[in-house]
Structure 1
Amino acid sequence: MAADFLLYGSYGYTGRLIAERARAQGLTPLLAGRDAGALAAQAAELGMPHRAFALDDAAALDAALRETRVVLHAAGPFSRTARPMVDACLRTGVHYLDITGELGVFEMVAALDGKARAAGVMMMPGAGFDVVPSDCLAAHLKRRLPSATSLTLAFQAIGGASRGTLTTMAENAGEGGAVRRGGRIVRVPAAYRSMQVDFGRGPVTVTTIPWGDVSTAFHSTGIPDVEVYTRVPARQVRLLRATRRLGWLMGSAPVQGLMKRAIRRGPPGPTPEQRERGASLLWGRVEDADGRRAVTRLRTPEGYTLTARTAVEAVRRVRAGEAPAGFQTPSRAYGADWITEFEGVEREDVE
């Protein structure tokens, strides 16, 4: 059976949602990952081809990529898995998409823009919840206020988190936060700032996090100062601030092992009912040097549901030839209004 794209990490929580969405949209992925047993079971269930290989097996990786024109990488943490896949795409001339939200991965791929252009390859990390809605929101705000010099983004995820998301958070615990100042990424303490934001249901407190948009929003808009906030329970904010003194401990092998064992004991991710009830609320504000500002709110389906939809649509567009070479962000590749094309998305200009 011929495959339309390679889906690496297909048997993970989000990978499964993507595979099911692809089938519903008439696409056939080549299911891929390290676990041969999990792949065989998934392939039998979905009636799709599969291939088992590790990312450090360059020969097997290249052979799989030569069977397709685009890869959708869904196996995190991407800080450990993205680079070998990116390098393989550059070697084989295959377009690269992933669903990362990790700041360092965006900057790594952005630094390879020249090589990607030379290879005629599009590289667009962040084809999921992070960063499609927030990146399109940033670009929309820049369009509303072209003179903007600062951008503030915030989001509230209503629903649960997958084991993969929680594992990435655990691995990054203790590394502090990040904002962009004067066009450069600056490290700041964890939970650096808090503020009040109204997502449309009344003011709530949000706190800074080193989200992927600290990277991508600058590349999309050129706005030099960027901060990203999220809704975090007060108890977790206190824990984040405690890591300012205990970051070395959070990164130690015993504590990492303890956190990851606890994650593995939990559910794989939100149930279908939780995803159906869930939603993602986003808010953005831009300001310029003269004090002018614009504010926009965005509401989307629950994050994992949205990720499956946006990632599969990105694959469809790339296969249709909409694949500008080089490093891309969602809004640079497909426009600020791309997010509004998805079912259940509402955008409101507030100020």
Structure 2
Amino acid sequence: MGKWMIYGANGYTGELIAREAVSRGMSPVLGGRNAHKIRPLAEELSLEFQAFPLDEHAAAQLEDIDLVLHCAGPFHVTSEPMIHACLSAKTHYLDITGEISVFEYTHSLHSRAAEKNVILCSGVGFDVVPTDCTALKLKEEMPDATELALGFDSDSGISPGTFKTMIQGLGLGSMHRKDGVLKTVTLGTQRRTIDFGRGSRSAMGIPWGDVSTAFYTTGIPNISAWIPMSKSKIYSTRLLGAAGPLLATDWFKEKLQGQVEKRIQGPDSSVRANSPAYIWGQAKNQQGIIKVARIRTANVYDLTVYGSLEIVRRLLIERIEGGYYTPAGLFGSSLVENLPGSGTFEIDTFYPRQ
């Protein structure tokens, strides 16, 4: 097995991944910007570590690294320099982002990655492994689908890094894909009722990464993403959208991020163990036939650990041509079914009334 690095190993999710990797007999190099934050974990786990910033010299730190699992957000800031360092060093690049702009940027580098024989795959965690696999499963069930909706329901807690990423998106609204093109819509204006797997619930459209990745996985031109939310909260969210210019200011975001540093901690193991995720997807063709797929998975953070490590493991032993990939594009729709805590897909078909 090749040599690989977890960059951002001192963060909440990076540390979870590092600990699970060691429990599986893997020996990642721990990386990050601050040696004082990385060294204690590296010493505890008896792992090598490297501390370096993501600047023009970063590629030199990756010369003997075969693969980087990038866990240091916010990814719209950190992914571009790490990707280019990986391309320069001919090192495979994975990350655990859910940010649409990062997915689109990573996809734009497909030709260069193919020339370098480097694999680029963003979103190897909960964002977007289970929903990406659901998208491909529905495409396999309905090859002529023209519409795709994806979503999830979970009582999971939230980590500081995830919260900071959400803050960066304030004021930007929601997003969906219409006729193959990404379109921004006011947050709170997309509403419907969905049974994610534990009963019908009111739901709201969100700017989830699949509006980018599922298009590259399936080619389906119309894609939306959804989470459960009460009607009153959807209404409040829509009103909040009117404050978009204020929410988008750096001043407001810095104030919120300061509060995150003081108040937010990631969910502990007991919370994660009792908070499975329910994944839902719906495909529809021009004849009005509908296919619905559902699957239950581990907690969103545990699935990020399991999904990222499985993709790392397979990339280090399998020979795959370089280029941009989505998780399901790499390893198929069954990838999520084979992860700890996951069930199997259940598919229902609905025909239009005559």
What is the TM-score of this pair, normalised by structure 1?
Answer: 0.96
Residue number among 176, 179, 187 corresponding to 1:179 in the alignment: 176
Matched, 1:45 2:56: no
Report sequence identity in percent. Answer: 36
Tell me if structure 1 keeps the 8 A contact 2:152–2:279. yes
1:33 aligns with 32
Tell me if structure 2 keeps the 8 A contact 1:3–1:30. no
Residue number among 204, 217, 222 corresponding to 2:201 in the alignment: 204
Query: Hey, what's the Cα distance between the residues in 2 that align with 1:239 and 1:7?
Result: 39
Tell me if structure 1 keeps the 8 A contact 2:201–2:229. no
1:255 aligns with 252
1:76 aligns with 73
Matched, 1:17 2:13: no
Matched, 1:100 2:100: no
1:320 aligns with 317
Tell me if structure 1 keeps the 8 A contact 2:190–2:205. yes
Report the alpha carbon displacement of residue 252 of structure 1 after superposing the two structures with TM: 1.7
2:348 aligns with 350
Query: 1:166-185 CA deviation, whole Å, 9 max, x = no partner?
Result: 10001100001110011111
Structure 2 matches for 1:1-351, cutoff 5 A?
4-56=3-55, 58-59=56-57, 61-234=58-231, 236-346=233-343, 347-351=345-349
Query: Hey, what's the Cα distance between the residues in 1 that align with 2:105 and 2:172?
Result: 18
- Which residue type is aligned with residue 8 of structure 1? Y
Query: Hey, what's the Cα distance between the residues in 2 that align with 1:216 and 1:252?
Result: 28
Inter-CA distance 322–162: structure 2 relative to 1 (3 Å threshold): farther
Query: 1:105-155 CA deviation, whole Å, 9 max, x = no partner?
Result: 000000110000011011000000011110000000010011100001111
Query: 1:305-325 CA deviation, whole Å, 9 max, x = no partner?
Result: 010011011111111024331
2:352 aligns with none
Tell me if structure 2 keeps the 8 A contact 1:35–1:52. yes
Report the alpha carbon displacement of residue 231 of structure 1 after superposing the two structures with TM: 1.9
Inter-CA distance 92–234: structure 2 relative to 1 (3 Å threshold): same
Inter-CA distance 239–11: structure 2 relative to 1 (3 Å threshold): farther
Report the alpha carbon displacement of residue 191 of structure 1 after superposing the two structures with TM: 2.1
Report the alpha carbon displacement of residue 293 of structure 1 after superposing the two structures with TM: 1.3
What secondary structure, in the 3-state scheme, does the structure 2 residue paired with 1:339 have? helix
Query: 1:184-241 CA deviation, whole Å, 9 max, x = no partner?
Result: 1111111231111112221111111111000010000000000000123556434431
- Which residue type is aligned with residue 116 of structure 1? A
Inter-CA distance 168–236: structure 2 relative to 1 (3 Å threshold): farther
What is the TM-score of this pair, normalised by structure 2?
Answer: 0.95
Tell me if structure 2 keeps the 8 A contact 1:151–1:287. yes
What secondary structure, in the 3-state scheme, does the structure 2 residue paired with 1:210 have? coil
Tell me if structure 2 keeps the 8 A contact 1:218–1:224. yes
Query: Hey, what's the Cα distance between the residues in 2 that align with 1:222 and 1:93?
Result: 29
Query: Hey, what's the Cα distance between the residues in 1 that align with 2:290 and 2:245?
Result: 40
- Which residue type is aligned with residue 41 of structure 1? P
Report the alpha carbon displacement of residue 301 of structure 1 after superposing the two structures with TM: 0.4
Tell me if structure 1 keeps the 8 A contact 2:215–2:223. yes
Tell me if structure 2 keeps the 8 A contact 1:161–1:269. yes
- Which residue type is aligned with residue 24 of structure 1? S
Query: Hey, what's the Cα distance between the residues in 2 that align with 1:234 and 1:28?
Result: 47
- Which residue type is aligned with residue 269 of structure 2? P
- Which residue type is aligned with residue 141 of structure 1? L
Query: Hey, what's the Cα distance between the residues in 2 that align with 1:103 and 1:272?
Result: 29
Query: Hey, what's the Cα distance between the residues in 1 that align with 2:260 and 2:230?
Result: 19
Structure 2 unmatched ranges of 5 or more: 350-354
Query: 1:12-55 CA deviation, whole Å, 9 max, x = no partner?
Result: 00000110111112111111111111111111111111111111
Query: 1:51-109 CA deviation, whole Å, 9 max, x = no partner?
Result: 111112x22x2122112110000001100000000111111111000000000100000
Tell me if structure 2 keeps the 8 A contact 1:173–1:243. no
Tell me if structure 2 keeps the 8 A contact 1:214–1:227. yes
Q: How many residues align?
A: 348
Query: Hey, what's the Cα distance between the residues in 2 that align with 1:204 and 1:157?
Result: 12
Task: Note the aligned Cα RMSD (angstroms).
Answer: 1.4
